[in-house]
């Protein structure tokens, strides 16, 4: 049903870390979904209603084929057996070829738990002789996007050229007014300025205007060198 499933601890993490890839996949005709694990609330300037409206607006801009919220507890997300089963069931139902998960090193415990949960659920989703509904399914790859709560110097496995999609990525992020605009300093560099600078840094690293970095625990096999920049 889906080609790509991006799994996010909170609504806005998929936008921050992987909106460029999402827009690129959509432009190529792939079916792309986002599963937010928690509501992301409470936050200082957000409410459940506001955050849901912001998520809906960003979903529209990204042109997602599918988006749901697994309803796990925000701020106390844990990779429990129950959560693993719930996520593995979604993977069996949506049958994505690839998964996208948050990078595995992070100061935010929800993000670390999300990575562990995705990896465990990916394994569980292929099990036979289980009580989980749906047929066994194993996404071939997990790529890790960066939405890290650390001053982290990433060493990505590859960088995606997102120059054509940067404006739309920023528009999707701007939908989260309660998270990235309200209550933030308006002195440059603003939070959004810093995001642009970071995307420009990764673009410069690969000789394009904007880039989006990704990590992988496994080596990446290449069928050809043609798509290298
Ligand atoms: Zn988050």
CA 229 to ligand 1 centroid distance, Å: 31
Q: For position 200, what pLDDT does the model report?
A: 98
pTM exceeding the 0.95 threshold for the entire prediction: yes
Cα distance between residue 96 and residue 188, in whole Å:
40
> What DSSP designation does 150 have?
S
pLDDT in tens, 135-190: 999 999 999 999 999 988 999 999 999 999 999 999 999 999 999 999 999 999 99
Q: Which residues of the chain have a pLDDT value below 70?
A: none
Q: For position 165, what pLDDT does the model report?
A: 98
Q: What is the dihedral of CA 54, 60, 61, 67, to 10 degrees?
A: 80
b/e per residue, 132-151, with b = 16+ CB within 10 A? Answer: beeeebebeebbbbbbbeee
Q: 207, exposed or middle or buried, with CB in 10 Å at 0-12, 13-18, 19+?
A: exposed
Helix (H) or strand (E) holding 178: helix 177-180
Q: For position 155, what pLDDT does the model report?
A: 96
Q: For position 194, what pLDDT does the model report?
A: 96
CA 70 to ligand 1 centroid distance, Å: 14
Q: For position 136, what pLDDT does the model report?
A: 98
Q: For position 205, what pLDDT does the model report?
A: 98
* Angle between helical axes of 191-206 and 166-174 (0-180°, round to 10): 160
pLDDT in tens, 14-23: 999 999 999 9
Q: Which residues place a Cβ less than 5 A from the ion ligand 1? A: 9-10, 13
Q: For position 152, what pLDDT does the model report?
A: 86
Could you give the C-alpha distances from 132 to 17, 135, 173, 200, in angstroms and in order? 30, 9, 35, 44
What is the number of H-type helices and E-type strands within the chain?
7, 7
CA 36 to ligand 1 centroid distance, Å: 10
CA 75 to ligand 1 centroid distance, Å: 9
Chain mean pLDDT for the chain: 97
Cα distance between residue 116 and residue 104, in whole Å:
8
């Amino acid at each position: 049903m889906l080609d790509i499933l991006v799994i996010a601890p909170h609504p806005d993490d998929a936008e921050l870390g992987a909106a460029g890839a999402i827009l690129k996949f959509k432009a190529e005709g792939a079916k792309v979904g986002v599963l937010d694990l928690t509501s992301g609330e409470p936050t200082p300037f957000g409410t459940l209603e506001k955050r849901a409206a912001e998520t809906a607006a960003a979903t529209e801009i990204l042109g997602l084929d599918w988006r749901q919220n697994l309803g796990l507890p925000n701020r106390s997300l844990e990779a429990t057996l129950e959560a693993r089963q719930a996520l593995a069931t979604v993977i069996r139902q949506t049958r994505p070829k690839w998964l996208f998960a948050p990078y595995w090193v992070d100061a935010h415990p929800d993000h670390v738990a999300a990575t562990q949960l995705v990896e465990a659920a990916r394994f569980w989703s292929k099990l036979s002789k289980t009580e989980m509904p749906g047929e066994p399914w194993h996404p071939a790859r997990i790529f890790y996007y960066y939405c890290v709560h650390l001053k982290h110097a990433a060493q990505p496995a590859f960088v995606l050229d997102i120059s054509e999609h940067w404006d739309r990525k920023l528009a999707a992020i701007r939908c989260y007014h309660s998270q990235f605009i309200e209550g933030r300093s308006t002195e440059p560099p603003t939070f959004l300025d810093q995001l642009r600078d970071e995307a420009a840094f990764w673009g410069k690293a690969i000789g394009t205007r904007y880039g989006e970095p990704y990590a992988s625990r496994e080596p990446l096999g290449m069928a050809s060198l043609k798509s290298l920049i």
